[in-house]
Amino acid sequence: MSDQLGENTIDLAQVVQNSYHANAQLVLSALLSDYTEEEIAHCVSEAYGRKFDTSAVTPVTPLGHDWLLELFHGPTCAFKDVALQMLPQLMSVAREGDGRDVMIVTATSGDTGKAALEGFADVPGCGVTVFYPDGKVSDIQYLQMVCQEGSNVCVSGVRGTFDDAQTGVKRIFSDEALRGRLASRNTVLSSANSINVGRLVPQVTYYFDAYAQLVRRGVLTLGDPIDFCVPTGNFGDVLAGYFAKRLGLPVRKLIVASNSNKVLTDFITTGTYDRRRDFMKTISPSMDILVSSNLERLLYYLSDGDCAYISSLMGQLQDEGHYSVTPEILSQIQETFACGFATDAETKETIRATFEQDGVLIDTHTAVARTVLNRFPEDGTPRVCLSTASPYKFCSDVLDALGKDTTGMNDFACMDALEKASGTVAPKQLSSLRTAEKRHLGVCDISGMGAVVEDACTRIFARS
Ligand SMILES: *Cc1c(COP(=O)(O)O)cnc(C)c1O
């Protein structure tokens, strides 16, 4: 993909006439040259069909003077669905070439694992095993995982923390004996983490599609500039926006919004990336990240593919915890990227103000972005705030932001109270968990994780 970014452009006049599905076809075809048009069409229709609760897939709606790009209409009510509904389809087509079965193995702190389960469930030739830290995810996250349907899924708690579970998964990937036994049965292990390009490419689509929606609404004329503000953790989502710009979308600024873990704000301001600081636990947990793994990709493109330079920076980050880019690269970054951060208190205030003044209920991650966006003066260029999760995924903090007392309330009590307080309705994907059947109650020790994966492969890939 890397070589094609600079050469390919996407025909904006065409984009504006297209449905989301046709735009996904256009963008994926431009970036994934290994796939035929027919294969991509198949993947698009499988990925963005009945599992999204709107045919627009990622609708744009008004937000005061700005616009909200709603990325939470998929099966887990968060934006990772847009990529994780597509990635398994792409993998399934790719594996038809070599005929091997693929077992995805991942550890989750709560959200990504569920998105992976939904994406890989019942995809031919694939299985998925997800480990979560037992007792350390929210009520709703727990139910989302243990109630997962599908004949090729495996979910297990791990006695330990998220880091323990992640270490256990790394150990599985480096267990040569296990991999050998699986290989003899034509099975390979794979991860679905956010540095997989198959997760980035599908995200490029919604930047183009948002532009198309605003042209059709008469907010933009074809060719006009646009700004996007993106709540950022691993830098995947905002990097997809950069890809869209490189492919010809007239993006003026990409605003990188962080919470109190503001490593990226400091980096974009000064050119020095420094992870030597305390990790903060915030109300926007999917952005609680000190090492944004996709930033390396941006630096690669900005340095014209200078691998030696990039690996020296990454080496410094690993060994010393910090690095600084050249003034030339910093000025290139600042040409496209603006930045800012929001504290938890500011984020809550934005949730309250957005609801009271604009009548829109937003989640804690989206509210970080809106807080940052509000600090930039309006100058007539349309601005789109990316909305990465349904407010009902973070009921308790959203309710608290609206000034309601949440002491002693579980997730479902908060869900009821949030419906009452806001006059909105919780998405079915979440409210139906109350009565869903619990299917995966297993819990293992760190040392037992390999056996769980091996058993799952045996069960799922058994051939008659
Ligand atoms: C993952 C996530 C983010 C951050 O996205 P990155 O691609 O890691 O920058 C923001 N909001 C929500 C709700 C997320 O799940």
Tell me, what's the pLDDT at 195? 64
The candidate with the shortest Cα–Cα distance to 208, out of 10, 72, 49, 35, is 10
The pLDDT, as a whole number, for residue 7 is 67
Q: Are 268 and 338 in contact (CB under 8 A)?
A: yes
Name the residue of 193, 287, 298, 430 whose CB sits within 8 Å of the most ligand 1 atoms, as the mutation to test its pocket.
287
pLDDT tens track for 123-180:
999 999 999 999 988 888 899 999 999 999 999 999 998 889 989 999 999 999 999 9
Residue 6, pLDDT score: 55
pLDDT at res. 94 = 84
pLDDT of 464:
37
Residue 60 pLDDT:
98
Q: Ligand 1 centre and the CA of 98: distance in Å?
A: 33
Q: For residue range 181-209, what is the model confidence (pLDDT) as tens digits? A: 999 999 999 987 766 778 899 999 999 99
Question: What is the pLDDT at residue 88?
Answer: 93
Residue with tokens 């997809």: 240
Q: Which atom of ligand 1 lies closest to the CA of 235?
A: 9
Q: What are phi and psi of 131, to 5 degrees?
A: -110, 130
Q: What SS3 state is found at 141?
A: helix
80 annotated active-site = yes
Positions in the chain whose pLDDT score sits under 70 = 1-7, 97, 194-195, 463-464
Query: 23 and 249 in contact (C-beta within 8 Å)?
Result: no
* Alpha-carbon span 16 to 386, nearest angstrom: 19
Whose CA is closest to atom 11 on ligand 1? 388
> What distance in angstroms lies between residue 464's CA and the mean position of ligand 1's atoms?
41
Beta bridge partners of 107: 131
Of 68, 87, 237, the residue with max ligand 1 atoms within 8 A of its CB, to mutate for a pocket test, comes to 237
- Average pLDDT taken over every residue of the chain: 94
Q: Which residue is closest in CA terms to ligand 1's atom 14?
A: 286
- Distance, in Å, from the CA atom of 389 to the CA atom of 393, rounded to the nearest integer, reads 7
pLDDT in the model for residue 194? 65
Kindly give the distance from the C-alpha atom of residue 259 to the centroid of ligand 1, in angstroms, as a whole number. 12
> Which residue is catalytic, options 80, 114, 253, 262?
80
Residues with C-beta less than 6 Å from any ligand 1 atom: 78-80, 111, 194, 231-237, 286-287, 365, 388-389
Q: Which amino acid is at 44?
A: V
pLDDT of residue 296: 93
**Where are any strands of DSSP class E within 325-463?**
337-341, 383-387, 443-444
**Long-range contacts: 19-23, Cβ < 8 Å, 24+?**
19/55, 20/48, 20/55, 20/56, 20/57, 20/58, 20/205, 20/206, 20/209, 21/45, 21/48, 21/57, 23/205, 23/208, 23/209, 23/212
- What dihedral angle (degrees, nearest 10) is formed by the CA atoms of 73, 76, 78, 84? -100
Query: What pLDDT, on a 0 to 100 scale, did the predictor assign at position 244?
Result: 97
